[in-house]
Amino acid sequence: MAASLLPGSDDDYGYDLSLEDETLLAQLITDDDPNPTTASSREPATVASDLGIDTVTEEEFRLDDAPNDTTSFTPSGSAKAPLRSPRRRPNTKARTSPPSSPGHHVVAYPDLSKALSNRDGRSSSPKQPTAPPLDSGDDTRSPLVRFRSFPKRPFAVTDLTAGAWCELQYFYTLTRLPYGRRTRTAAMKQGTKVHQDLEDEVHTTVRVEIASKEDGFGLRIWNLIQGLRTLRETGMTRELEVWGLADGSVVNGVIDGLSYDNPDPEFEEQLSQGLGDSSQASITDYFPSKKSSRGKIPQIYLTDVKTRGSRKAPNSPALLRPAKVQLFLYQRFLSEMAADKLDYLRIFRRYGLDPDQQFSDSFIAQIGSLHDELFFDVESSADGDYVPPSSAAPETDVEFSRAQTTAPDLVKLSHTAQTLQVFPMDDRALDLYLGSTMEWWRADREPRGVQIEEAYKCRMCEFADSCTWRSAMDADRLQSLSYSSSWTRIVFQNLIQIPPRTHPAHRNNMAKSQKDAAIIEVARTLKDTPWCEEYEKMISGMMYNPVESILVEGRHKGRCLAREFNDLDHRQFTADEVADKKSEILGRMLGKVGAGTFIEAPLLVDYGCNVIFGKNCFANFNLTILDVSLVTIGDRVQFGPNVSIYCAGHDTSVLSRIKFVEYGLPITIEDDCWIGGNVTILPGVTIGRGTTVGSGAVVTKSLPPYVVAVGSPAKIIKRLQTVEEEMADPQNPYRDLPGNLPERD
């Protein structure tokens, strides 16, 4: 059981007075009773989210309820003590209550009613202290300086994992809620009880009173040592506090569970075969060599326990991401502590502790009184002489070395629904995540909200109604809807302006009733168009006669050029010669072709002359274009195999077929799009810049820029970063590659 040194916890077994309550209580007792009996402290809480996982970690109410500054300490805490009969505990659902430890006396509480009634003649019901003023939104300091710099408390692991759920939600928590603490829910309180039951299987609690900050931190170190002893002797421990550094800042966390039980031996064997590196140092390299005679060295497996309302384990990466980051941090911190890489003096300085300050006599006496229960395994010198501390190894080093363990590249996420998930340690992923999350802590960038595919999180967020990120997403969504109904763009070097058009959905897929002068002007700039009255109707989207002789001749010419293109015998030419000949044929077949564009055969077109390709495009095999209206394709657009682009429209009216009339609507694919294999694009569609369309999709409506759309009909599942956002993202693997960005239109 971790030390209960954290005032302000409102959980069911932790220190249940907030910082302001403790201040008022201290004033009352000081005035009315000079020697009060210290109130009992209880273990700090753990948390279960409304989702059951990941919105906030279970350690939040163990560490996040610590004093807001490092100069405060609580007058009592809890020391870990082993159960009476230490032994390796088998995996079982049975849970036993811990026995009372020797010296655990009944606590007498002060008579607060008398204190309150006698204080300056005031009523026995004191006025609740008001919360401190919330942080101003105009504060330009970084979150790191505002909330996690001395004298305020250091980072908790919760602080670093919260961004994996939603950075903006956590920023709002810090700046909008009293003391920067989340509002507790019934599910969180239930998680507290679950964790208490699990902890009672391993530890019992002994009350210890402390007189200084140094006593308090000494008790935390003592609990760490006792936790390692419990792990060594029983093969399991819980609530082990660890420290580490992230981006130069001190971070504190509490590991739910450590054990020798391998959660997935087969997976670990596969992992060791695939990732094994004999040159890589192991934690055991830092331990004494006397372990060789004791057989196989046990490994420690880290566990984080999550409470869930559902009995099904979460499989969404968005749900698992915070828990994985949390476990990765624990594994790294524990490994560095075991390797004696942690600078404890730096930790002491961050907490404002004096490393040369002696523990108080009362603290030493209380710890010493536990000798029979807790020090039965301490090695004594043969002659009983006093051994000065300077000549003795630090107790933490002794316990790490005695454990003779390694921390493998395997961590476990356990759910109260009796399910578990095992993950391999990923140092690179952790480094990338920490680099990104520390950017907003340092105010190098603004905090980010969730992506559109994770918008379900907003339903559980208490800040949803006032969230600026959510409002911006809603506005962007509305803009994307209006984007499809009015479009004006510049086509390549010629600065040809395409006029507004009506989305086919607004016209019930009916043909237009009059010619479109602007589109006709664009068509006049194209090569070898079959110009006639019916062509002007066709290119404008009106009903037209497809068997008009000039149109028939135009289609015949397009097919002949396509046949010439497709029948080119590669065996007779070099690769460069093939590319040159294809480029020459495309120049005669299509309306416009930009430099560097390459299209694989076969290519099928209706006319060809109504197709405009930008620069540096690529189309794989079997691209089919029914270009009875303008088909405008921007720069650097790529097509997978078997893509079909259909401008041709056929009304559902039977008479339209009897009368043998058709109509067509233009299709536009803007710069930098990726169109997957077997995609079908229907009449009147515009696909915005940078958008990806997944394989097999049927695009029936226009898509905004920078999204991913899949399915039939195609639906947006994800938003993408713009080019500017990608260039500003240090984690983007492409931004530092050679090459210049194209100029924007």
- Distance between CA atoms of residues 506 and 497, nearest Å: 23
Residue with tokens 């029983």: 234
How many other CB atoms are found less than 10 A from the CB of residue 265?
9
Asked, as a colleague might, if the bond just before 602 is cis with ω within 30 of 0, I would say yes
Three-state SS for 616? Answer: coil
How many other CB atoms are found less than 10 A from the CB of residue 217?
21
- Distance between CA atoms of residues 157 and 170, nearest Å: 13
Kindly provide the residue ranges of all beta strands, DSSP E only, lying in 307-442, ordered along the sequence: 410-415, 419-424
Output phi, psi for 685, to 5 deg.
-85, 140
Beta carbons of 257 and 303 less than 8 angstroms apart = yes
- Distance between CA atoms of residues 360 and 374, nearest Å: 20
Token pair, residue 336, equals 């560095």
Cα distances (Å, whole numbers) of residue 80 to 176, 207, 261, 404, 426: 36, 9, 22, 21, 32
Residue with tokens 């309306």: 591
Token pair, residue 721, equals 């970063």
- Give 29's contacts (C-beta < 8 A, 6+ positions apart): 36, 110, 112, 115
The dihedral of CA 15, 218, 299, 317: what is its sign?
A: positive
Three-state SS for 586? Answer: helix
Of 104, 371, 556, 650, which residue is the catalytic one? 650
Asked about 650 being catalytic, the answer comes back as yes
- Distance between CA atoms of residues 391 and 385, nearest Å: 13
Token pair, residue 594, equals 């930009």
- Distance between CA atoms of residues 708 and 692, nearest Å: 5
How many other CB atoms are found less than 10 A from the CB of residue 529?
18
Token pair, residue 684, equals 């009147």
Beta carbons of 708 and 717 less than 8 angstroms apart = yes
Please list the active-site residues. Answer: 650
